[in-house]
Every structure is written in structure tokens, then in C-alpha cells.
Copies of this chain bind each other. A is one copy, B any other.
């Protein structure tokens, strides 16, 4: 596996994940090349990220219509290490790499059912105000929830 710039030591990095969801690869996610289309990596990352946020107790806040804060994607990247096939069951992991004032850097890891790393990635999410569109600093409680 080629080492992306956001990973220092591949083995240590892999072992630092302790949150995973299972994703079953859908047939409509494959393309005419016979494997999963590249765009679906980000669908898998989003599902893992939101499940991670939910476990931290954050989703209720961001999904509430009365709340001014939502969480948006600032950037995302993915390295494709191995093709993914229909019907595989991936373990997709998320971990926090850094928490800023109003942003959070997350890392992603997807492993096939045969134990091979197929995707790695990272990206920054930002809490913004629906009204102003600007970054909204995390309060202390949120910072603590996200750090655990």
C-alpha cells in the first residue's frame, strides 16, 4: 500500500481506529468496469462519519430545524488502494485527527472482508451558521463530545 501524506505510519494509523460501521456494497454502486465506481467512496465515508457523529450525540443538534448550526464539508480526499466488488462487506472506520475552533479533521479507513485496505481518506468538516453561512465555533461541550 502506497502511503498517503496524511498517514505517518500505516500500521500505527490503522490500529488507532476504534469506530467502524459495516457497509454492504450495492450493485448499483458498481460501474461498467465491473467494480465500485470511485464516487461511492465518499458515500461510504459520509455514512461512517454521520454514524460517528451520532454516537457522539451531535446529529440531533445538527439535524434539528430550529438549530442554527449545521455541519458542512470543507474538503475531502480519498486514496484508492484496491478495487471493491459488489456484495463485499466493508468495515469503514472514522477517527478524529484534529479539532479546531469550528472545524474538525477526520480520517477514514475502509477494509474489505478479506482484511485488505481498499480506501483511506481524510477531510475537514466545519460547523457553520445556517443564517450567516459563516463558521460557528464549537462550544466547550461539543469539543469534549468530539474529543472522547
Contacts and interface: CB of A to CB of B under 8 A. Distances in A.
A38 to B, nearest CB: 4
Interface of A: 4, 24, 26-28, 30-35, 37-43, 46-47, 50, 54, 59, 63, 70, 72-80, 83, 86-87, 133
Contact of A77 (B26, B27, B47, B77): B77
Contact of A74 (B28, B50, B80): B80
Q: Work out how many copies of this chain go into the complex.
A: 4
The dominant DSSP class at the A interface is: mixed
A20 to B, nearest CB: 14
A22 to B, nearest CB: 10
B86 A79 contact: no
Nearest to A80: B73
A3 B133 CA distance: 19
Given A30-B32, A32-B32, A37-B28, A77 B78 contact: yes
- 10 tightest A-B contacts by CB? A77-B77, A30-B32, A38-B73, A39-B42, A75-B79, A28-B37, A32-B34, A30-B31, A39-B43, A73-B80
